[in-house]
């Protein structure tokens, strides 16, 4: 590829040697961006690139061992009647024969998670007059679809489109919301090829490094699903990836479990985001969430010990 680039640049008339040198360097930098869809486990771990520690999730046998658990203080979460009816209707008439069809189920569940959980607090648990006041405040979590995300390191980088990015902001245009406010990346797939997991983690890792580039700290969260299978990941500040273990198979019985994972991730995003200015959580709840996101707690859970 470098030879082709050199030939193109050398053939540009009228440009000075210094200009050509700078253009060549820029083009070479672009050539080193790896698309999420082509990311391998080795590339995820490369010190020149995202530099992630994927030991907990790289091997299939290791992925079956949970290295991440919902903390005990996150209570049970049950679907609203609206979501139950919506999913029942989709189950009766919807064929999951395409990625777009699968996303319809994901849309419904994510919509429930973001709209019904107000930074981890159930909106319908509040007095009706308070719920009516919520509206769309600046600091409330919102969902953006098909977001271009890119990060460049000194030598390598990553680029791609994330199916869903969840973050705090008030604009409908993703350009109006600084991407360092995003904390949850969701990858929706129809099939479940071997490349799906590193692709999803690449999106989360790119989000982590992008945030760190702008001085943000705290973990990011990754969800991989094809509407039937659900996996949840957390990437800490050091780039260590933790996973929820065996696939959670969507059903009426497991839907509360999926919603509980989403509730924790939303609570984590609320205390981590620099723009979550309207977090309706007590100081005790915030402290519990912050503690639950620390690496030490994750390691204790990985060893099967209680942290509470």
- Least confident window among 53-62, 135-144, 164-173, 252-261: 135-144
**85 assigned to some structural domain:** yes
Across the chain, what does the average pLDDT equal?
Answer: 78
For residue 192, pLDDT over 70 is answered with yes
pLDDT tens digit string along 59-71?
A: 988 888 888 888 8
- Average pLDDT, integer, range 283-302: 63
Same domain as 118, residue 11: no
Confidence of residue 126 (pLDDT cuts 50, 70, 90): very low
Answer whether residue 307 is part of any domain: no
Give the Cβ contact number of residue 206 at 10 Å. Answer: 27
Q: What residue numbers bound the domain in which 7 lies? A: 2-31
User: 22 and 46 share a domain?
Assistant: no
Residue 4, phi then psi, degrees to nearest 5: -60, -45
Asked, for residue 308, whether it belongs to a domain, the answer is no
- Same domain for 19 and 89? no
Same domain for 7 and 110? no
Q: Is the model's pLDDT at 21 over the cut of 90?
A: no
Position 36 in a domain: no
The answer as to whether 115 is a domain residue is: yes
The backbone torsions φ and ψ at residue 158, rounded to the nearest 5 degrees and listed phi first, read -140, 150
The per-residue DSSP string of the chain comes to -HHHHHHHHHT-TT--HHHHHHHHHHHHHHHTEEEGGG--HHHHH-TTTT--B-TTTSSHHHHTS-S----TTS------HHHHHHHHHHHHH----SHHHHHHHHHHHHHHHHHHEETTEEGGGS-HHHHHHHS--TTSEEEEEEEEEEEE-SS-EEEEEEEEEEEE-S-SSGGGS-GGGEEEEEEE-SS--TTHHHHHHHHHHHHHHHHHHTT--S-EEEEEE-SSEEEEEEE-TT-BEEE--SPEEPSTTTHHHHHHHHHHHHHHHHHH-TT-TT----HHHHHHHHHHTSHHHHHHHHTT----
Residue found by looking up tokens 């799906």 in the block: 196
Same structural domain, 120 and 12? no
Say how many domains are in the chain: 2
In a domain, 19, yes or no: yes
Report if residue 192 sits inside a domain: yes
- If asked whether residues 131 and 19 sit together in one domain, one would say no
Per-residue model confidence (pLDDT) at position 20: 58
Same structural domain, 12 and 159:
no
The verdict on 117 and 187 lying in the same domain is yes
* Same domain assignment for residues 156 and 18: no
Q: Which residues contact 253 (CB under 8 A, 6 or more apart)?
A: none
Q: Is 14 in the same domain as 51?
A: no
Do residue 23 and residue 154 come from a single domain? no
The verdict on 102 and 65 lying in the same domain is yes
| Higher per-residue confidence, 49 vs 132 | 49
């Amino acid at each position: 590829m470098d030879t082709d680039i050199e030939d193109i640049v050398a053939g540009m008339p009228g440009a000075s040697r210094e200009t050509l040198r700078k253009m060549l360097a820029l083009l070479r930098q672009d050539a080193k961006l790896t698309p999420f869809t082509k990311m391998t486990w080795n590339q995820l771990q490369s010190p020149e690139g995202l530099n992630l520690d994927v030991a907990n999730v790289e091997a299939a046998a290791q992925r079956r061992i949970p290295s991440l658990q919902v903390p005990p203080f996150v209570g049970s979460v049950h679907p609203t009647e609206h979501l139950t009816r919506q999913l029942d209707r989709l189950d009766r008439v919807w064929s999951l024969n395409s990625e777009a069809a699968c996303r319809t189920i994901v849309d419904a569940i994510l919509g429930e998670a973001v709209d019904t959980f107000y930074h981890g607090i159930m909106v319908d648990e509040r007095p009706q007059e308070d719920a009516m006041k919520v509206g769309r405040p600046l600091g409330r979590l919102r969902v953006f679809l098909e977001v271009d995300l890119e990060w460049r390191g000194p030598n390598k980088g990553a680029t791609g489109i994330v199916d869903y990015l969840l973050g705090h902001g008030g604009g409908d245009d993703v350009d109006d919301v600084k991407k360092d406010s995003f904390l949850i990346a969701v990858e929706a797939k129809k099939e479940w090829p071997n490349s799906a997991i590193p692709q999803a983690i690449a999106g989360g890792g790119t989000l982590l490094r992008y945030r760190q580039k702008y001085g943000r700290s705290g973990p990011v969260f990754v969800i991989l699903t094809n509407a039937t299978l659900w996996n949840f990941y957390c990437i800490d500040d050091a780039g260590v990836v933790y996973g929820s273990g065996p696939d959670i198979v969507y059903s009426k019985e497991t839907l509360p479990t999926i919603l509980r994972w989403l509730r924790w991730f939303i609570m984590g995003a609320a205390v981590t985001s620099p723009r979550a200015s309207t977090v309706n959580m007590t100081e005790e709840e915030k402290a519990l969430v912050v503690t639950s996101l620390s690496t030490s707690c994750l390691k204790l859970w990985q060893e099967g010990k209680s942290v509470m």
